[in-house]
Structure 1
Amino acid sequence: MTNDLFIQTLHPATHDLGGFKVHRTLPHKERTTVGPFIFFDQMGPAHLPPGGGIDVRPHPHINLATVTYLFAGAIDHRDSLGTYRTIEPGAVNLMTAGRGIVHSERSPAEARPGGPELSGIQTWLALPRAKEEMDPAFEHVPKERLPVVDGSGAHARVVMGTLWGATSPVTCHSETIYADMALAPGGSMPVDPSAEERALYVAEGDASLDGQKLEPTVLYVLRPGTSAALRSERGAHVMLCGGAPMDGPRHVWWNFVSSSRDRINQAKDDWRNERFPTVPDDSEERIPLPVVTPKTVSYP
């Protein structure tokens, strides 16, 4: 779909992982990035069976940063830097892979007996070429430190970048915007027009933009400079993401992103031959390198 508001409409690839669904809109056959966002996954919403949970075993990344943001539930993050952090709704986990990092994501033990909830967004940001091989890092920013901007029966939490005059403390490696807009029934919120590349995604509920209905789990790429009002009849969570265009094309293979195919091939060889670092307290298992070209990252 193209019109006065949108230049592209990206429908998801949906995967049923036997307890919850994942909707992936980036990378897409029609578009690889929106600003630095090169991967956009919605997990759930789901209520997993009692005693169960997610167990994403240790796996590697290079030349990207992951951003985890939850609506419900909790995830224990561990990585090869020695980080252990539980993320809960409204907080941000930013993991910068740089030259290479390994991490795992699992449901907390205390949430498993009753069956854990899972609902949220996980994105990857391609790093600018000058920072692709930077030192790996991890950053957790609690919900209370993220600025909130009020609309009419709505508010927006600024997850990354500067929006509506408010700036998130989360590190940006390039120009990035990211926000969670929560609209009550009948609420409205203007969409900040400042970033060159922007997209909207209805994660929960119903929403329309200047009267045009937005379908859930679809990524709508906005025309540059478009000013419009987001509205909801019954309430919604709508994500706004984007930033400056990338400084050249990126290649994506499994959990690896890079401006260089040779660098991705080196990462494949390093993981196959166990040259990546291990995750303290979670080194007994790992996700093996795919033997065929993967279409998705590996969940449990």
Structure 2
Amino acid sequence: MSFSPCPDPVPGNAESVDAIETLIVPRAVDLGGMEVRRALPSTKRQMVGPFIFFDQMGPAEFLTDQGIDVRPHPHINLATVTYLFDGEIRHRDSLGTDIAIQPGAVNWMMAGRGIVHSERTSEDRRQNGQKLFGIQTWVALPEDAEERDPAFKHHGVSDLPIISDHGVEARLIAGEWMGASSPLQTASETLYADVQLQSGRSAPIDANFEERALYTIGGNIEIAGQSFGPNQLLVLRPGDPITVKATEDARFMLFGGSPMGGPRYIWWNFVSSRAERIAQAKEEWRQGRFTTVPGDEDDFIPLPENSGKPRRATGGVVYP
């Protein structure tokens, strides 16, 4: 699909240009009862560190008997990371995993050579309706990890470290930051944190990671004299530490890490360093050769037809 043009940092503001390498305003798409804002991949940027896909889900409010129903679908050569601010999603996959993810917890699903999963609202949640708000990202895997056996790991809200320091409160999802270390084991150097700042407070973003970005969730932040509101992806210029200041209570996702050794191809739900691997996965899904999801075997998302060849990650993504 195509993406809306993304504005550059403010012309004439040298400090802003020095601090922000790329600014991306995601395009909002209505997926039927829930708005999704897709920040990566973009025409402006392929990846930030290993992050190749970044979706904001909601905020949405479902009435009684409503919810999400993402039918079983496949992934290869990537890891999905689901993180919620509000609501609940029931995850089931072809490994036999059946678990509800709730706010502050994290689901890490490594597709490796191939996995199938579904994401739905549970029957209990449908009875009373619910809100849903969160982030789903895809992380590209190093080439030597792309074809590993699939795996799933859940870390509950109490498993992830909380950083609390002078008006800064952050939950560290992956990697190391401000002296804390997450238990989540990733396939490459990865940083991922949910950061909340009280008005007037600041958080340092050091230069330990080669590629870093912020995605603004709420409130207003200031970097090098430039102000940014919600729903913007700010790719930080590498090499220099920066400071993020909240001009009102604010929340953002901090993410990044080491870049992949080369570009990735992306088509529908498939990511790989090799276009021919995606072609193979397409044929395997078409022929029903992926393993099914226990308890969810009778439903699936068909392979999109006439949606083009795999492209390098510059925006050629098909919504499921």
Q: TM-score, normalised by structure 1?
A: 0.96
Look up the equivalent residue of 1:264 and give its one-letter code.
I
Q: Which residue of structure 2 lines up, in the alignment, with residue 228 of structure 1?
A: 242
Report the counterpart of residue 302 of structure 2 in structure 1: 288
Q: Secondary structure at the match of 1:112?
A: helix
Matched, 1:125 2:147: no
1:297 matched to which residue of 2? 319
Matched, 1:188 2:210: no
Give the corresponding residue for 2:221.
Answer: 207
Structure 1 CA distance for aligned equivalents of residues 57 and 193 of structure 2: 17
SS at match of 1:28: coil
Distance 1:24 1:296 in 2: 12
Deviates more, 1:285-294 or 1:81-90: 285-294
- Residue by residue over 1:141-199, the C-alpha shift from the partner in whole angstroms, topping out at 9 and shown as x without a partner, is 01111111123212111100111121100011001000000123333322233100000
Partner Cα separation in structure 1 for residue 187 and residue 70 of structure 2: 26
Deviation, 1:122, is 0.2
Partner of 2:68: 54
Structure-2 residue corresponding to 1:217: 231
CA gap 1:163/1:123 in 2 versus in 1, 3 angstroms = same
Count of aligned residue pairs for this structure pair = 298
CA contact (8 A) 1:75 1:107 kept: yes
Tell me the distance in 2 between the aligned counterparts of 1:25 and 1:259: 21
C-alpha RMSD of the superposition: 1.3
Distance 1:18 1:63 in 2: 28
SS in 2 for 1:4: helix
CA positional deviation for 1:209: 2.1
User: Identity over the aligned pairs, expressed in percent?
Assistant: 53
Q: Is the 8 A contact 1:20 1:46 kept in 2?
A: yes
User: 1:75 maps to what in 2?
Assistant: 89
**Residues 100-128 of structure 1, C-alpha deviations (whole Å, 9 max, x = no match):** 00000011221112222110000000000
1:255 Cα deviation from its structure 2 partner: 0.0
Partner in structure 2 of residue 92 of structure 1: 106
Give a deviation string over 1:177-235, Cα, whole Å, max 9, x none.
00000123333322233100000010122222243212322211101133222222332
Structure 2 residue runs of 5 or longer lacking an equivalent are 1-7, 10-16, 308-315
Alignment of 1:106 onto 2:120: yes
2:57 alignment partner, SS class: strand
The CA distance in 2 between the partners of 1:195 and 1:130, in whole Å, is 21
Supply the distance in 1 between the matched residues of 2:23 and 2:30 (Cα, whole angstroms).
Answer: 22
Identify the residue that residue 4 of structure 1 maps to in structure 2: 18
Q: Measure the CA separation in 1 of the matches of 2:318 and 2:104.
A: 26
